[in-house]
Amino acid sequence: MNLDLFSSVIKDGNVATHISDQAWHLEGFATALEIQLRDLLRSIIKQAPFRQMKTPGGQLMSVKMTNCGEVGWVSDHLGYRYQTLDPVSNLPWPAMPEEFKSLAKNAAATAGFENFKPDACLINLYPVGTRLSLHQDKDEIDFDQPIVSVSLGLPVTFVFGGLERSSPQTKIKLHHGDVVVWGGKSRLAFHGVLPLEAGEHELFSHYRVNLTFRKAI
């Protein structure tokens, strides 16, 4: 089925809403897995704790990050890149759990991207007040593969633009369990999140957690 023909469709009981060319918001797609995801995240962060990375310009990023998968996204004075070792421990990143892989693969397929095989999962922890400014995901080798982004915990406003920083933007409220998938013509779309508003979530307390699945290498 070509989902781009519809603005909103029901697929496997989930509402899929069209954001832009080949970009979809899958409401509640991950909700049924919430306990497993929370428990798997707990064991990942025991091995590779959240840390604040520095931008290449030396600024401390407010969002805390870690990774699982064959490679992890890192930032420091040398630049943005993917690497196989966690720079804090010098050990490989924790393996990507099968449950993460199948969630990402299923979400990608629902949005029209078959055979997505993520090798990197960036895990962002947003304390209240933190944001992620407008950027493109372009540190990956293969732009034919989509981005799959899973939201957990407190809700946030996601900003999705176009291929230019100045392109018109769509603002979408992302709730716990929502998944956004973008690829193809939207693969290099600018996106970001507005500052996290205070709240309390029964599984993630005062935080929002975002899992970004990518085929990086």
Which residues lie near ligand SIN (CB under 6 A)?
124, 132, 149, 158, 191, 193, 210, 212
Q: How far is the CB of 149 from ligand SIN (least distance, A)?
A: 5
Rounded to an integer, what distance in angstroms lies between the CA atom of residue 169 and that of residue 119? 29
Between 137 and 140, whose beta carbon lies closer to Fe ion? 137
Q: How far is the CB of 21 from ligand SIN (least distance, A)?
A: 18
Rounded to an integer, what distance in angstroms lies between the CA atom of residue 217 and that of residue 206? 34
Rounded to an integer, what distance in angstroms lies between the CA atom of residue 93 and that of residue 37? 17
User: Which H or E element spans position 203?
Assistant: none
Between 6 and 205, whose beta carbon lies closer to ligand SIN? 205
Contacts of residue 108, defined as CB under 8 A and 6 or more positions apart, other chains included, come to 114, 116, 146, 148, 181, 183
Residues in contact with Fe ion by CB under 5 A are: 137
User: Which H or E element spans position 210?
Assistant: strand 207-214
- Pick from Fe ion, ligand SIN, none: which does 210 bind, CB < 5 to 8 A by kind? ligand SIN
Q: How far is the CB of 124 from Fe ion (least distance, A)?
A: 9
Between 20 and 210, whose beta carbon lies closer to ligand SIN? 210
Q: How far is the CB of 209 from ligand SIN (least distance, A)?
A: 9
- Pick from Fe ion, ligand SIN, none: which does 140 bind, CB < 5 to 8 A by kind? none
Contacts of residue 135, defined as CB under 8 A and 6 or more positions apart, other chains included, come to 190, 191, 192
Between 67 and 210, whose beta carbon lies closer to ligand SIN? 210
